Amino acid sequence: MKRVILTILAVVAAIVANAQQGAGLNDTDKNLVWVAQRGWNIRMSAGVNIGGTSPLPLPREIRGINSYNPGLNLSLEGSVQKSFDNSCWGVLVGVRFERKGMATDASTKNYHMEAWNTDGSGKVVGAWTGKVKTKVNNTYLTLPVLATYSLNERVMLSAGPYVSYLLDGEFTGEAYDGYIRDQNPTGERADVTRAEYDFGKDMNKWQWGVQAGCEYRAYRHLALFANLQWGMNSIFPDDYSAITFALYPIYGTLGFTYLF
């Protein structure tokens, strides 16, 4: 994954350097000019996603969050934006490569758990009381389609839907320092030192949601932006039994945009 990110960054840097050449126009420069003359603005963005994959609201089984680590979630996007004639409104369409991840440690009571004992005694299923560590690292290819509204020459607002395809998914964790009751909260109790789970292969391949943000054009070719992405469907199928509540990816992004 690091190699893919570095490759994309190198391509973006090469495109930016090529667009800044002052002597003569090659084919790429001519294409940029052709697009710009028709009112489309080409943009390259980079940012960091900060947030989490969470149930809404938190179920009563989760009694407290002991720790939270957002991790390093990079976002790289190429997009085009067009403003309508004699109007503050416009449209923006993009393609984004991004990671959405986090790590949490929570205290739970009667939390439905399906995991495997690390002592080799097999699978445990039931109501877990104790601590749960969860790690999420999901890589998506995302297509946002946004309406834009320019407040002035420097500030632009945007909002609209997006759809994401899961390229690589990780959802792992462990339960520790607690006990489990067989099948339900009134079942037979068994102490568990540590049990692990891995549900990465069970996640939905498609995600969709809404995005809203604001961009400030600091210089002619450079803008700063912030946006919020709110997932509208769970990362797991509706009938998934290992996790009994929906989990929604909710992330904010901070970054910059190079304007060609």
Cα dihedral 124→128→133→138 (10° resolution):
70
* Residue 100: C-alpha distances to residues 43, 167, 169, 199 (Å): 22, 12, 10, 16
pTM of the model: 0.83
What are the structure tokens assigned to 134, written together? 């969860």
d(CA 103, CA 101): 7
Model pLDDT, residue 124: 82
Residue whose entry in the numeric block shows the structure tokens 């991840």: 101
Does residue 28 contact residue 20 with C-beta atoms inside 8 Å? Answer: no
Name which CATH class applies to 2-259.
mainly beta
What are the structure tokens assigned to 92, written together? 């923006």
Model pLDDT, residue 23: 43
Pick from 102, 111, 233, 125: nearest CA to 171? 102
- CA angle (106 as vertex; 105, 108 as ends), nearest 5: 150
Residues of the chain falling short of pLDDT 50? 2, 4-9, 11-13, 15-16, 19-20, 22-23
What are the structure tokens assigned to 67, written together? 């720790």
**Percent helix / strand / coil, the chain, rounded to 5:** 10, 60, 25
Sign of CA dihedral 184, 185, 190, 195: positive
pLDDT tens sequence across 37-80: 566 789 999 999 999 999 988 889 999 999 999 999 999 999 99
d(CA 8, CA 3): 9
List Cβ neighbours of 253 (8 Å cut-off, separation of 6 or more). Answer: 47, 48, 49, 50, 75, 213, 225, 226, 227, 228, 229
